[in-house]
Each structure stands twice: as structure tokens, then as C-alpha cells.
Amino acid sequence: MGGPLPRDATVAVIGAGAMGSGIAQVAAQAGHPVQLFDARIGAAEEARQTICATLDSLAAKGKISIDGARRASSRIAAANVLADCAGAQLVIEAIVEDPEAKRSLLRELEVIVAPETILASNTSSLSITALAAGLEYPQRVVGMHFFNPAPVLPLVEVVSGLATNRAVAETIYASAKAWGKFPVHALSTPGFIVNRCARPFYGEALRLLNERAADAATLDAVMREGAGFRMGPFELMDLIGLDVNFAVTRSVWDACFHDPRYTPSVLQRELVAAGFLGRKSGRGFFSYGAGAAKPQPSTLPPQSRPAAVRVCGDLGLAAALVDRWKRNGVTVNRDRACDAFPDGAISLDGGPLALTDGRTATVRASETGERDLVVFDLALDYSTCARLAVARADGCSERAWHAAVGALQAAGIAVSALDDVAGLAAMRTVAMLANEAADAVTQGIATAHDVDLAMQKGVSYPLGPLAWADRIGAARVRDVVMNLRAHYGEDRYRVSPLITRRCASGRPLAE
């Protein structure tokens, strides 16, 4: 073992639902004979016909060749009984996400297939170690977690339990790669890579909504148009299903002995209890019924544009704002000294405008003596971002507030006001994503490369969280997380040891 499965090796897929059918299609298109089985009589044949129709549709659209569609279809057979899968060299189970059901199936398969046959589970969160426990050959059990829809999404998490033979994991890794996927290795821990490292994307958004920082549509827009995520957290939860998303969070929380970092949201639980599950129920954070209007973010009205701004110190991440102002006819003056704001600030008529550091604007203003402070949020790229969130310190004058908003608008940026919450939206979320990813590396769950690849290919993040942290600076991420901890007083916001070490050594997190 170690290389990919031979092309003539039979792949059996157990479970003919959406995920199982998708995996069967991927394996058949990669050249393998496929046996598709489902316990429900007739389901496997129905799925086979659906897959063939899908392949024909892809050929009609020119996405695959007609001959390729015909050959792939001919490779798929519906198995009438589980014993029809006896000759498979790889069996992938994609049945209901229930540990007892999966263990029962694996025990049944073990007496049917050859001792060298690999048994793979498509589980998204269950322990591979636990699924393999008690089998005669637990070393051949491995996780092969595809993402839905399997023919479209490129990531496969190859998950090793405590008993998994390394050669088995390498064979599955090589096979997934040969099938055109992007495989990553992960240890069998709660949530593996993606479902664990993505928790802050939802958790921080839910906390902000619960604190009434802004409405869901506004927070989504800030994360899309500022931070560069393909979807905002609330529209994504509505798409996934609030019940599914809540169950994953609850599963990771339970499996990690109620670590506060993964504490589920009471607000989300209430929505699930009400049956507001998202798109599939017609209502979640947003409404999807007939005639439902698309929710619009809150955008501040236009303010007077400044004739000039004064940049104090080095704006660092936000330095691209200078060019945007210049292109839009705003004069930029430089002042290299900025004692109160070591990361730089924009001095305006009335008060300073500075990038958030994880503190509330009010706390930061009290510590710097700048009563009229306005803070702005992190952006993926300040040269192109379309929207930024801002917040003002309690007691900030209307003059200073309007001047700050007008300055950002003069750079061609839509501005959304948030209540004065610690870290705003994008900065705290990205810092916590990076912190979680760093812990995954610290604990040996995956390499830094595989963590970043998984988050980009599995959930379409614009950057891997560790690469993003390197762009921001490990020290800034550390400071934001520490400031969040000081604000909330919760162990949820503890700094990963890897970030602390890299701050001291200066080495990148993503290496």
C-alpha cells in the first residue's frame, strides 16, 4: 500500500443518498468499477439512474466528453445485497451519521470483504478510533470525508484513528489525489480540520448578533465585502441548515468536554427549537418564502468628504487607503510620529480613526486619552474592499464621527456602523480562526499546510487562516485574542501556544 488504488480496483459505496451517490460518481469518473448499495430496496438503482442522468447532463453542457459520460455510467452497478461488494478493494460507507449504525455496518462488512480491503468512513465528525474499535482488523479503517456535493467540492479529509495503518491512510490520500481531489491528512479528533477550525466563523457572528452589534444582513455584508468571504456567516448557516450547524457545534463541544471555545449559541438553539432552520424551512436568520425581500445591510448615509487627511505613523495593513484617497482627490499629509497609536492612525477634523486592536473603542479611548476615537475593521485587502465596519467610543462627538465616516466614504468604501463591540466583526473572527488553526497544528491534528489548504478548499476561505495570520502579524493576532479575553473574561479567548512561540521567534505560522 501507499500508492493510489489501481484503476481496475472495485470501489463499493454503501449508502445511496446525496453524499453516497456523489462519491460513487467521483470514483466512476476516475475509472473505477463501482458497486453502489443501499439498505432500502430500489434506492441504489434509483441513485444509479440519477448519476447517469447527471453525467449525461454534464456531457450535454460540454463539461465532460460524451464518451467519458458513457464510460463512467457503465462502471456503476447497483448492488442488490451487501455481499455483492465482497470483491471491492475499497469500501466507503456514507450512511446515516450515527455511530452505532456505522459500527454495525463495519462489523458486517468485515466478514464479507477480504482482510486487505480498506474500510473508509465518510463521517464528518465521528471518531474513526471509536468506529474501528472491536474490529478484527481496525488498522484498515480510515476516514475519507468528502464535502457535499462530492463531485464539485475538491477537499477530502483523510482521517487516521489510533489504530489506522499509515500505509492505509497514504493509499487513500494518493487515491483521492488521483481522483482529482485535494486530500489532507488529519487525526481523528472532534471535527477533524474543517468542522473544528470553522467554529469561530459561526460562533463569533452569533455572539455579535446576540450582543446586538448589528443585524445579520449587515454583519454578513461586512464579512463578504470587507473580509472577502464568499458568504456571510448567517446566510451560510441558513444554507447549511441551522439544525445541522448547531448539531456540529454541539458535537464538537460535547466531544471536547465542554471547552468554552466551542460553546453553542442559545440564540441558535432557540431558532432550531422554533423550526426556523434556514432555506429548507423557509425561514432562518432570513426569510425565503414567496415574495420575501432580500435583506439589505445597514449603510451609513453620505457625509462630507474631507479635503485632506493626516496619516500618523505607519498604517501597516491599511496603508492602501492612502492610494485610494489620492485617486479620489483627497490630499494626504504625513506625520511619522504617533505615540498614542503605535499601529498608526488617521487624524481627522475632530478625532482619530484607527484599526481595531480587539478592544472596544471606549476602552481604547480611555487608555489613550482620545475621547473622539473611531475604530475600523479588518479587510482582506484595503485596496479593493467595498465595505468596512466602524464603531465609535462612548462620548465621541458627532463631528468626529461624521468626519471618520466621510473619510472612508471618500476612499470609495461603504461604511456600516456597529455598536462598540470588542474587535468589531472581521478582525475578531479572523483572529479566532487563526487561533483555532494554530491550536490544531499545536496538537498535531494536521500540518499548517494541510490546515490552510483544508479551509480554502473545504469552505472556500479567501486565505488559509494561518497565512492570513502571517499577513496580519502573529503579534497582532495575539493581542486581539488577549484583548477579547480581557473584555469577556472567558477561557474561550485563550491564545494558542503556537502563536505565542511564533511571536517570540518571528517565524511564520504557515510554514
Q: How many whole angstroms separate alpha carbon 471 and alpha carbon 477?
A: 10
What span, in angstroms and rounded, lies between the C-alpha atoms of 500 and 504? 7
Q: Per-residue confidence at 313, pLDDT binned at 50, 70, 90?
A: confident
For the chain, the straight-line distance linking the first and the last C-alpha, in angstroms and rounded, comes to 29
Assign 337 a pLDDT band (cuts: 50, 70, 90). low
Report the alpha-carbon distance of residue 95 to residue 17 in Å, rounded: 8
**What pLDDT, on a 0 to 100 scale, did the predictor assign at position 7?**
96
Given a cut of 90, is residue 314 above it in pLDDT?
A: no
Contact 55, 25 (CB under 8 A): yes
Provide CB contacts within 8 A for 336, sequence distance 6+. 312, 313
pLDDT at position 2, please?
Answer: 67
Residue 212, Cβ density class (10 Å: 0-12 exposed, 13-18 middle, ≥19 buried)? exposed
Q: 304 — alpha (psi -120 to 50), left (phi > 0) or beta?
A: beta
* DSSP H helix total and E strand total for the chain: 20, 15
Per-residue pLDDT at 351: 85
CA neighbor of 242 nearest in space, from 277, 270, 286, 274 = 277
DSSP assignment letter at 211: T
Cβ-count burial 297-308 (b if 16+ within 10 Å, e if not): beebeebeebee
Annotated active-site positions, please?
124, 145, 157, 195
pLDDT, greater one: 22 or 345: 22
Residue 341: its pLDDT value, please? 74
Contact partners, residue 48, CB within 8 Å, separation at least 6 = 24, 36, 76, 77, 78
Q: Report the percent of the chain where pLDDT is more than 70.
A: 98
CA R_g for the chain: 26
What's the pLDDT score for residue 204?
98
Higher-pLDDT residue of 335 and 149 is 149
Determine how many CB atoms are found less than 10 A away from the CB of residue 337. Answer: 7
Give the pLDDT band (50/70/90) at residue 289.
confident
Sign of CA dihedral 213, 439, 502, 201: negative
- Say what the pLDDT of residue 340 is: 65
Mean pLDDT (the chain, rounded) = 96
User: Does 451 score more than 80 pLDDT?
Assistant: yes
Strand partners, 76: 34
Q: Which domains does the chain have, with CATH numbers?
A: 11-188 (3.40.50.720), 192-213+215-295+446-511 (1.10.1040.50), 308-417 (3.30.750.190)
How crowded is the C-beta side of 377, counted as CA atoms within 13 Å? Answer: 37
Answer positive or negative: Cα dihedral of 369, 374, 380, 383. negative
Whole-number pLDDT of residue 339? 65
Task: Read off the pTM.
Answer: 0.95
pLDDT at 349: 79
Per-residue pLDDT, 342: 63
Give the pLDDT confidence of 468-496 residue by residue, as tens digits: 999 999 999 999 999 999 999 999 999 99
DSSP secondary-structure letter at 359?
S
Distance between CA atoms of 459 and 477, rounded to whole angstroms?
Answer: 21
65 C-beta neighbours (distance < 10 Å), count: 11
The percentage of residues in the chain with a pLDDT greater than 90, rounded to a whole number, is: 94
Predicted local confidence at residue 377, as pLDDT: 98
The answer, yes or no, to whether residue 1 has pLDDT greater than 60, is no
Q: Shortest CA distance to 157 belongs to which of 441, 468, 445?
A: 445
At 243 the pLDDT is 96
**Residues 234/240/241/244 CA torsion (nearest 10 deg):** -120
Contact indicator for 389, 421 with CB cutoff of 8 Å: no
259 within 8 A of 301, measured Cβ to Cβ: no
Q: How far apart are CA 278 and CA 234, in angstroms?
A: 9
Which whole number is the average pLDDT over 194-222? 98
pLDDT in tens, 391-445: 999 999 999 999 999 999 999 999 999 999 999 999 999 999 999 999 999 999 9
What the block records as the C-alpha cell of 124 is: 464528518
